[in-house]
Structures are given as C-alpha cells and as structure tokens.
Structure 1
C-alpha cells in the first residue's frame, strides 16, 4: 500500500495476560482493531515497570509484540526520584490528610516517566497518542507537541470509580470530595483532543462540560472474528447451568454477589431446589458460600475462554448495587444472546430495556421471581435471547464499533 501509515503510541497501564478483567478485554479489543487495520496504522506501546515490581517480564513483552511493532518500557527501578515522588504524595494525602489521592495526582506518572514519554513522542513523531485511564493523563498533556493528537480512553469516570472502590481495605475511612475531583477530572479531559467513553452514562455526565465533538462513544469490543458464524440459536443449545455470574475480584462484584447469595438465591432454591449456578472469575477467591448453598453452586475460578460457559448457561445474572462504567460481563452475555437479569447499576450504560431484552430490578423478591419466570417460560427466554441478540448486533458488534473508530481516525477501508 503506497499510503503512509498513521503512527500511534498506545499507553498500557498493565500487562494483558491473563485477560481476567473487563479493562483488559477492552484494551485487547482496541489492539485487535489496530491489528485488523495494519495497512493504515503503525502501532507502538509504552508501559512502565513499577519500582521493585517487574510487571513487564519477557513473556508479557512478547505478548504485546503480537499487536504492536515496538514496546517501550520505562524502568522506574532505576529512578529513586520517581519512587520518592510517588510515595511522598501517597503519604501526604492518605496518612496526613486522610483523603484519597486527587484524581489529577501524578502518583502513577512521576517526573521520570513523563519525560520518558515526552522524549518518545518527539523522537518517533507520532500522529496520535492514546492514554488508558485518567490517572495517566499527564503522560500526554505534558507533551507540548502541537502535531500529535491526544486521545484518552476513560474506561470509567475516574470519580465514579473512586467511589466504587471506597470499601477496599486501604481506602476505607479516606475522604473523597466528589464535586471538587469531578472538576479536576473535567479539567484534565479538556486537555485532550478526543475522549473515549464506553457508555451513555459517562457521556450524560460529560456533555455539559466538554464539547460534544470531543466525546466519542466507543463500547467494548467483545466479539470474536467468527463469532456469529458459530453462535447456535438459543432454542437449540444444551444447558449445563441455569445461572451464570462472571466477575473479577473487584469490590462491587463481591458485594453484588454476596447480595445475590444472601437475599435472592435462597428464594430461588425454595422454588427450584435443583437450580445450578456457575460463578466464574477471580471473584470466587473473595466470596464465602454458606454450606446449604454449596450443592447448587460451582465455583470455577478463572476460565480463559468463556464461550462454552456462555453457550451452556440459560441466564446470566449481574446483581451489582454499585460500580461504574459498562459491565463487560453483561455485554459479553449479550454477544451470546443470553437472557439477563440485572440491577439498574448493572444495566447502566447499556441498551437494555426492562421487559424487552432483559429484566432489571433492585428488589430481591422481584429479582428472584424474574429468574424463576424465565426458567419456567422457555418461550419468554427465547424471545429475550432474540431481542438482546438484535441489540448487540446494532450497537456492540465489531462492524459497528470499527466503523466508529474508522471515522475517528479518518480511515475508510474497503471492507471490515
């Protein structure tokens, strides 16, 4: 191809393997997009090994080179100034002021790391730099280049994510002023040319603060390349599990699953004693299951490939009561056209409508009754499957999201 490829530098906050969180799935989806468009893009990656922690070992580096042409790793181990800078910030805010770090803190991007990225941008002459997470915004905005376009993938509103983590042990008891930090967050986002949001909820919050031309809705990419070719119709599937819960070891997942197991699941067992629930993901490490529930539950832990579990489960549940951003577990379930019963928090940001392509409620008894109804009425479950499959194709399929990204980067390939 004679056209010169667009050069893009992508910042990664962590290694990709194992792919056990929604954030990692989102990043892999974006990397696969660029890989699919390799005739148009030259992709490099920048990352950091934290002080006394080799996250990016030779195996993780090789994994990234499956997606990128070059990987640049900043070694914080060699810079005591960075270590002292970050630790002093943490000590000042958390130990002295007893509050969470401000969202515009440079804790994750100390001076040495910022200079490392600034040098890369100036030497390699990139057209775009894409940052993941607001905590790393300074890696891009400190660059004075007027040529490089600066993009940030929020993943979540940082302020909402901070509130969702308030019960994590090292954050318990720390103050967090949402209003002042949201102002800080908006200020940082305004310094980017483009802000990638993954849900309508984030856009609704930002639209009164940022130019609408700056914000792009880019949902998670969760579809495999041959996904729809191998997707069996719901009516012809063989089910091993009645219910499926997927989640990483994340406090809202833990709290939501505990809520389900204590307030909802016993009601379902009373009505359907042989019901079977599969719990998948690292959340299994942090959830205590009462002995009387154990015969009805399989805790499977981390499963690298979830496709068979999705296809062998009648319903997916997402009983989260708090949290931020799009729930990737639900979007993945939508990709497999599985009926879902969720909460308002779980459904937030997704094109789910109660009674049309999902059941949505926060009331335990109603939640239990909706599950029982879908299990007892296969035609209703089949209809939900059909509707949620249509929703996925319209809003979350690779072809739909690739088209959005093509417009964002100004390319128009002959085929998707």
Structure 2
C-alpha cells in the first residue's frame, strides 16, 4: 500500500453542486475520503463549465484527461492511487481497464448515482402505457453494461435501498459488492430550524430540477398540462415557480405568467427559493435513485407532494413530509389542503426534519464506511478471488475494450 493514501476520482462531468444532486453527492464523497486521510485528485474528460465547483478551494487537485488515449496510462501510473472512484458506469467502462492494468492493487469503487437500467425501463413502461415490473430491467440493453461494471468493481456505492434489493434479487449480485451510502448530510439542529421562514412568510409553489434529466422535464410537462390547471382553479392568485439548470427553448416556451406558471431557469441560490416557497411539487412519473429536490425541500423545511417513484427509498418507516400520491386529482387536493392548513403544514415540516436527521445524517454512515474501505484494502486479494464473475469480466474487458480503445487511438492519431 502507498504510504500516502491517494484517491483518484474520475468524473463523468466536473461537479456542479448547484446544478444537480449528483454534483452535491460527489462533494459529499470527496469530504468523506478527505476525512479518512486521503489526498484527492479529480480527473475528467469533460469540458470545463461556468458552474463547476472550484476544486482547488476544496484542496482537490484537478486534472483533465482524454478518452481513448494512452496518456491516461502514464498519468495513472505516476499518480499510483490507493483507490479509484468511478463516477457512473460509463466512466468505469472507459477507464476501468486502464486502471486495472496500470494500478492493479488500487481499490476500484463505482458510484452508481442511480441505476440507469431501472430509470430507462420505467421510462419505456410509462411511454408505452403499461405497468413497470422489475423484470423489465433485465431487457434493457444498458443493463448488461451497467451490471458488468458493477461486477468488475470491488465495491459499488448504492444510494437507494430499492436498487440494492433489485441488484441482489433480480440480477443476483453478491451483496459483498454493494454498499448502501445515501446522501451524507449535516443534521438539522434546533438553531438551524428556528432560522427557517415561517408558514406565513412563505408563499406559492415550486418545482426545481436539472432539465438535462428526462424525468424532470416530464414532470414539468405534467404540471403544466394536468396538475397546475386543476390547482390554480382552486387557489386562484397562487403561482408555480419552475427552477432548473440547463432549460431548453421548449422548456422556456411553457412560461405563462398570466396563468401563474413561471419558468425561472437556474436558481442562483436554490436554498433561498425553496425556503421562500410554501410547498414543493414533484410529480415524478419515472426515474430512479433518491431525489435531491425532495431532500433539499426537507432541509429547507418545505413540505412536498410527490409520487411513489419520487418518494421511493427515501423515508424508511417514517412519515413523509407532506403527501405521496400518483393520482392527479388527489395530488391537487393534497396540495390545496397542505397550502391552507398551517397545522398540517407544520406537522409535515417536522416529518421532513426527522427524515433528514434519522436517515441521512452523515454521522450515521461515516465510521462504518471508513471501516469498509479499510477492510477491502486489507483483504483485496481474497475479495477479488471471491468475485469470480468480476474477474472473468475484467479479463474479457481487458481483451476486447483495450483493443477497441487502442484502435480508436491509432485512428485518431492518423487524423492528426
């Protein structure tokens, strides 16, 4: 093992915590490894963005890398990381074999974010007007790639208990390869709670979500076409404010101030706009993972109304901080009730705070996670021997993906 513990994070994109829950999640993982004493380098093949976090301010080294280029081999060999964290399976596909070949003793960790095969299977079921069943995930072409990536890695971090169960039961993944690690948050103290705006100080409804994410765009369409007309009829004069990073022209065309439907685009301060709203509306009809927008609502003391998919794996056996329903009329009825009833609203707010403190407080996970990483590093050879299918996939990946990548690299060099 290296004397200095070094973590290499290979990002699908540079972290944008103000644009998506995935960006915030990545910063939480970085903080956990720093707490365990790791020096961290964050590398990505993505272009820089205007909204990316300043990694240097977090004491993280930044490195731009290229796809299908042997320059990465030299870089990773010189860095010689103790552990490598792949941000989503697509990144593991691209760089996992290079890490395995050049740094065979490095612990390989996959952060799944959410299960892509689950999200896509649900989306297809929704668009073809049929009920989703878990076996649908087996039919997804992307599932073969995603599950192969999970098997090749030493550990996959799962944000959702539902997805943990799906992998174990439907895909027969050994639970030793999976680790439940949801959002890692600061608990909400009494002092923090007292600073939140009161029921009377808040007004209107809000939806917030990155528009590059298909479930968010679908939810906004559903709000515009179905739910908001019903809701505005019962609460005339109220407004729905739609915030989200990267809105397209088709999103902006939904802006109808006269109907109280406002497309605002990116929120400069998401916490501020959510705290000033009385209720978050999140009628998500497909998707996966746990929802950053609903966690954010709870942190801001803002009750929410969502669907069963929206609330999936988020509350455990605790009461939701509002209502969960898949029926548009019931959704509207619940929204009106929650908007007007201060006593009900306050109880819902308290439920959200309980969910944050009892299910997402980082203190519940950080010690066990550190022990898990230490155990794997100390028992890596045996752990890999026990994962025969992973070793088999790694062997064939090194054979096939390696030569495809080398072919692309050669082809690109001839163009130059």
Same-fold status (TM-score > 0.5): yes
Residue equivalent to 1:361: 325
Does structure 1 retain, via aligned residues, the 8 Å contact 2:218–2:284? Answer: yes
Secondary structure of the structure 2 residue equivalent to 1:309? helix
Secondary structure of the structure 2 residue equivalent to 1:332? helix
Matched, 1:140 2:96: yes
Q: 1:408 to 1:252 in 2, by over 3 A?
A: same
Secondary structure of the structure 2 residue equivalent to 1:231? helix
Select which of 94, 113, 116 maps to 1:158. Answer: 116
Residue equivalent to 1:130: 85
Does structure 2 retain, via aligned residues, the 8 Å contact 1:218–1:404? Answer: no
In 2, Cα distance between equivalents of 1:159 and 1:134: 11
Shift of 1:162: 4.2
Shift of 1:214: 1.7
In 2, Cα distance between equivalents of 1:324 and 1:272: 32
Select which of 52, 63, 72 maps to 2:54. Answer: 63
Secondary structure of the structure 2 residue equivalent to 1:155? coil
In 2, Cα distance between equivalents of 1:354 and 1:394: 9
Select which of 181, 195, 200 maps to 1:218. Answer: 181
- Structure 2: any 5+ residue segments left out of the alignment? 126-136, 376-416
Residue equivalent to 2:210: 248
Q: 1:273 to 1:69 in 2, by over 3 A?
A: closer
In 1, Cα distance between equivalents of 2:45 and 2:121: 26
Matched, 1:185 2:139: no
Residue equivalent to 1:343: 307
In 2, Cα distance between equivalents of 1:31 and 1:238: 38
In 2, Cα distance between equivalents of 1:294 and 1:196: 45
Q: Deviations over 1:38-85 (max 9, x none)?
A: x71111122225xxxxx138x8899222234433222x4xxxxxxxxx
Secondary structure of the structure 1 residue equivalent to 2:305? strand
Residue equivalent to 2:75: 120
Does structure 1 retain, via aligned residues, the 8 Å contact 2:19–2:244? Answer: yes
In 2, Cα distance between equivalents of 1:268 and 1:261: 10
Shift of 1:328: 0.8
Note the aligned Cα RMSD (angstroms).
3.1
Residue equivalent to 2:237: 274
When structure 1 is superposed on structure 2, of 157-166 and 336-345 the one drifting more is 157-166
Does structure 2 retain, via aligned residues, the 8 Å contact 1:61–1:71? Answer: no
Residue equivalent to 2:107: 149
Shift of 1:9: 0.6
Matched, 1:48 2:48: no
In 2, Cα distance between equivalents of 1:31 and 1:299: 33
RCO greater where, 1 or 2, for CA within 8 Å and sep 6 or more? Answer: 2
Matched, 1:194 2:155: yes
Q: Deviations over 1:96-140 (max 9, x none)?
A: xxxxxxxxxxxxx53x1xx44443333222110000010111312
Shift of 1:10: 0.7
In 1, Cα distance between equivalents of 2:328 and 2:318: 16
In 2, Cα distance between equivalents of 1:56 and 1:211: 37
Q: Deviations over 1:140-161 (max 9, x none)?
A: 2442344211000011213234
In 2, Cα distance between equivalents of 1:235 and 1:15: 33
In 2, Cα distance between equivalents of 1:361 and 1:305: 29
Shift of 1:315: 1.1
Does structure 1 retain, via aligned residues, the 8 Å contact 2:109–2:155? Answer: yes
Shift of 1:268: 1.4
Secondary structure of the structure 2 residue equivalent to 1:220? coil
Residue equivalent to 1:173: none
Does structure 2 retain, via aligned residues, the 8 Å contact 1:25–1:222? Answer: no
Secondary structure of the structure 1 residue equivalent to 2:236? coil
Select which of 292, 297, 305 maps to 2:261. Answer: 297
Secondary structure of the structure 1 residue equivalent to 2:194? coil
Q: 1:354 to 1:363 in 2, by over 3 A?
A: farther
